[in-house]
């Protein structure tokens, strides 16, 4: 559905060339939700603007629904863009128009008939749960409600692709949850393919199938969300994971513990708790595991259990126990803090 191959974007500025996006490739199949996560300045907005050619890539191909967007003429591009919805952090609503008109006006501009417009306004306001706000003005709405209007406006063009640039970043955690639920609902009901960018790992955790970690214009790691969450490789991925995994042992505390053994981070895929295998390891080998922290993370497509464990025992026995755990499907890493220190 969305296919980027080797996309790069450089800006010429007074201070020289800024390479905002470097050689990015990704593929989103119909009905999937993919997320790009990265810190400020990583190039996320530039990347998503390359998808609908609001920015023209300096290199690479952008294919949507099999069509090469980089080859389209201006008028062809305008026509194709109607089928791509976009939502933003700042909502971009017209302040002087009612909620209903905010949805109707863009439809009028693309030549949708009057009675069809009326139908769509009601339909999509209903879907986002704001049927009663049709005559209100944006200034009378909360942030979450404004984003719902923006989503209804995007949906009213009946797109098959929805691009989202930090749509929940300005919202409080509860409102964020409700907007994410809404995105999941429209993804399910209409089969809309979604590519979103965010700096919030909880967004990835809750609604994405696949995640790309972006840094300095490049994708430094990507994969199924469940794979990345249970076995992150790149330092940046790990530091994003720390924001949602709530296992906050201090480096000093761990260093103290290490005087009497070793400290490990274990990840268990699926809902099976880690206790039974740890207990089994303790009976099979001469080791004494002690669970320091434990939590369960629910993802869109599965559940991951995480534990920080202190293991005391002869090094050789500990190695055997770890090997046994690995054979049971446990993913093991030496404990590190968010900066990679151990």
Q: How many residues bind ligand ATP (CB under 6 A)?
A: 13
Question: Smaller CB distance to ligand ATP: residue 112 or 179?
Answer: 179
Query: Least CB distance from residue 200 to ligand ATP, whole Å?
Result: 11
- Check residue 15 for interaction with ligand ATP (CB under 6 A): no
- Residue whose C-beta lies closest to Mg ion: 45
What whole-number distance in Å separates Cα of residue 314 and Cα of residue 326?
A: 18
Compute how many other C-beta atoms are within 10 angstroms of the C-beta atom of residue 284.
12
- Check residue 6 for interaction with ligand ATP (CB under 6 A): no
Query: Least CB distance from residue 44 to Mg ion, whole Å?
Result: 5
- Cα angle value 25/28/30 (rounded, 5°): 155
Give the H or E element holding residue 245: helix 235-245
DSSP class per residue in 167-233:
TTTTS-HHHHHHHHHHHHHHHHHH--EEEEEES-HHHHHHH-SEEEEEETTEEEEEEEHHHHHHS--
Query: Least CB distance from residue 291 to ligand ATP, whole Å?
Result: 36
Binding mask 110-149 for ligand ATP (x = CB under 6 A): ----------------------------------------
- Check residue 20 for interaction with ligand ATP (CB under 6 A): yes
DSSP class per residue in 90-139:
T----TTS-HHHHHHHHHHHTT--HHHHHHHHHHHHHHTT-GGGTTS-GG
Query: Least CB distance from residue 240 to ligand ATP, whole Å?
Result: 13
Question: Smaller CB distance to ligand ATP: residue 176 or 262?
Answer: 176
What whole-number distance in Å separates Cα of residue 174 and Cα of residue 136?
A: 23
Query: Least CB distance from residue 96 to Mg ion, whole Å?
Result: 27
Touching ligand ATP, residues 21-80 (CB under 6 A): 38, 40-46
DSSP class per residue in 39-67:
-TTSSHHHHHHHHTTSS--SEEEEEETTE
Question: Smaller CB distance to Mg ion: residue 90 or 106?
Answer: 90
* Partner from Mg ion, ligand ATP, none binding residue 43, C-beta < 5-8 Å depending on class: ligand ATP
What order of strands is seen across the sheet that includes strand 84-88?
A: 84-88, 161-165, 193-198, 33-38, 210-215, 218-224
Query: Least CB distance from residue 50 to ligand ATP, whole Å?
Result: 10
Question: Smaller CB distance to ligand ATP: residue 18 or 77?
Answer: 18
Q: Which residues bind Mg ion (CB under 5 A)?
A: 45
The residues binding ligand ATP (CB under 6 A) are 11, 13, 18, 20, 38, 40-46, 199
């Amino acid at each position: 559905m969305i296919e980027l191959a080797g996309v790069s974007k450089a800006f010429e500025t007074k201070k020289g060339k800024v390479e905002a996006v470097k050689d990015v490739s990704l593929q989103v199949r119909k009905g999937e939700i993919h997320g790009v996560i990265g810190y400020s300045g990583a190039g996320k907005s530039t990347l998503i603007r390359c998808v609908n050619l609001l920015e023209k890539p300096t290199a690479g191909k952008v294919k949507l629904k099999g069509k090469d967007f980089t080859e389209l003429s201006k008028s062809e591009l305008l026509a194709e863009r109607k089928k791509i919805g976009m939502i933003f952090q700042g909502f971009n609503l017209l302040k002087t128009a009612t909620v209903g008109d905010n949805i109707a006006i863009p439809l009028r501009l693309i030549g949708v008939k009057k009675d069809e417009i009326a139908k769509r306004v009601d339909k999509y306001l209903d879907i986002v749960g704001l049927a009663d706000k049709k005559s209100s003005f944006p200034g009378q709405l909360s942030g979450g409600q404004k984003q719902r209007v923006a989503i209804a406006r995007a949906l009213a063009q009946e797109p098959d692709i929805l691009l989202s640039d930090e749509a929940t970043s300005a919202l409080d955690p509860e409102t964020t949850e409700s907007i994410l639920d809404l995105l999941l609902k429209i993804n399910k009901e209409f089969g809309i393919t979604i590519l979103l960018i965010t700096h919030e790992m909880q967004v990835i955790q809750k609604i994405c199938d696949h995640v790309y970690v972006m840094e300095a214009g490049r994708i430094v790691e990507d994969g199924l969300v469940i794979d990345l969450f249970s076995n992150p490789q790149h330092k940046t991925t790990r530091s994003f994971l720390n924001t949602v995994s709530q296992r906050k042992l201090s480096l000093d505390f761990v260093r103290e513990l290490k005087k009497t053994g070793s400290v490990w981070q274990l990840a268990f895929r699926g809902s099976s708790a880690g206790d039974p295998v740890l207990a089994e390891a303790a009976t099979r080998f001469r080791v004494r595991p002690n669970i320091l922290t434990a939590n369960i993370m629910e993802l869109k497509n599965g559940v991951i259990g995480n534990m920080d464990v202190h293991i005391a025992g002869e090094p050789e026995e500990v190695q055997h126990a770890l090997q046994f755990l690995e054979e049971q499907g446990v993913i093991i890493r030496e404990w590190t803090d968010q900066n990679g220190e151990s």
